[in-house]
Amino acid sequence: MTKDLLKVTDLKQYFPIKGGMLGRTVNHVKAVDGVSFTVKEGETVSIVGESGCGKSTTGRAILRLDDPTSGEVEFDGEDLLGLSKKEMRKRRKDLQIIFQDPYASINPRQTVRQILEEALEIQNTVPKKDRPDKIAELMETVGLGAHQADRFPHEFSGGQRQRIGIARALSVDPKLIVADEAVSALDVSIQAQVINLMKRLQREFSLTYLFIAHDLGVVRHISDRVIVMYLGKIVEMGDKKSIFDNPHHPYTKALLSAIPVPDPAPEKKEERVFLKGDVPSPIDPPQGCRFHTRCPFATEKCKVETPELRPEDTMEEGHVAACHYMKEIIDGTHKPQQ
């Protein structure tokens, strides 16, 4: 259980911006800028953050859907980025993805059977004569009827389509599934169904999830550990309980205070942290701490020195955050600046 399944080291993903008369690269969008984390076998790690913070890009880079600029992705002891395209194709069996939009993620012109058959055929996990049985089994596993296999995607609802996407990911018996906003496009009631399905599948098939989301309620429900990203960098990372109950980074605090409370009675309501302004452009991210432009606690030091991820005495084991003033903010000696 405690084996490291995925180890990401200093992952960077820069997208070039072409411009000028000759189409030269004039600048880069630094979508992911030096991200390191590990995912242990069998656990669910969530990456949360605002739109554009690089969480999806991280997921795509791990799967090599985009080739990362630099860094290392070690999966089951093997460096994925060093593999040739052919070797990677074989490895893909172990890493699957569930996409956000169930309407775009399945081919509208293939029946469910054709979709699943493609997966089974390419990785050749199941002999040809057993494939119809395997498809029926997969359909049942994700809560669809085996008789629905010959239907086209447009005959299914959004939630059902997402189940088809899950069945496709499962068909090759993966070890790690990257769920890229897998439930954000669904209705709340359907979200719960799909999440519970994913949790059940995790137990049954001992899957590891890298769950990319912006819905903190969902994250709280499903994760073991949480990674908070801001503008291409990890700002805080740790055990779910520790992050939710005892956030140290001002950004995490702001994020958590934005979760709607079921019973917003005034006396129960915690202090809402408002952030001013927008996320700065990832083309030219701020110097020092990337959050300093919006942080109520920012000082001159934050504009110059980049904080590293570090633990603090007040944190539980494995919890780290990147802020110069974690301790001072907690014990109240560092007040919000004007």
Partner 1 sequence: MRGRGEKKTNFQMLFSNNRGAYVSLWFLLFISGVSLIGAFFIDTSQLMRVDLTRITEPPSAQYWLGTDHGGRDVFNQLVLGTRHSLAVAFLVTILSGVIGGVFGLLSGYMGGRIDYVMMRIIDFFQTLPFIMIVIVFVALVPTYNVLSFSIVMTVFLWMPIARVVRAQVLKEKEMMYIQASKTLGTPAFKIMTKQLLPNVMSVWIVSMTLNLALNMGLESGLSFLGFGFPPDAPSLGTLLSYAQSPSNLEYYWWLWLPAALLIFFIILSIRQLGEMIHLHFNEKKGGE
Interface residue list for partner 1 (CB under 8 A): 63, 65, 88-93, 95-97, 99-101, 104-110, 118-119, 122-123, 152-154, 165, 168, 172
Pair of tokens at residue 126: 């199941």
Q: Least distance in Å: CB of 58 to partner 1? A: 15
Q: How far apart are CA 274 and CA 119, in angstroms?
A: 46
Pair of tokens at residue 199: 């949790």
Q: How far apart are CA 329 and CA 79, in angstroms?
A: 40
Contact 283, 30 (CB under 8 A): yes
Q: Least distance in Å: CB of 214 to partner 1? A: 18
Contact 64, 11 (CB under 8 A): no
Q: Which is nearer to partner 1, 124 or 287 (CB)?
A: 124
Contact 181, 56 (CB under 8 A): yes
Q: Least distance in Å: CB of 109 to partner 1? A: 4
Q: Which is nearer to partner 1, 119 or 229 (CB)?
A: 119
Q: How far apart are CA 39 and CA 251, in angstroms?
A: 23
Q: Least distance in Å: CB of 161 to partner 1? A: 11
From the number of C-beta atoms within 10 Å of its C-beta (0-12, 13-18, 19+), residue 151 rates as middle
Q: Least distance in Å: CB of 305 to partner 1? A: 39
Q: Which is nearer to partner 1, 198 or 237 (CB)?
A: 198
Q: Least distance in Å: CB of 110 to partner 1? A: 7
CA distances from 215 to 23, 191, 319 (A): 39, 11, 21
Q: Which is nearer to partner 1, 103 or 244 (CB)?
A: 103
Count of alpha carbons within 13 angstroms of residue 2, beta-carbon side:
0
Q: Which is nearer to partner 1, 58 or 293 (CB)?
A: 58
Q: Which is nearer to partner 1, 109 or 276 (CB)?
A: 109
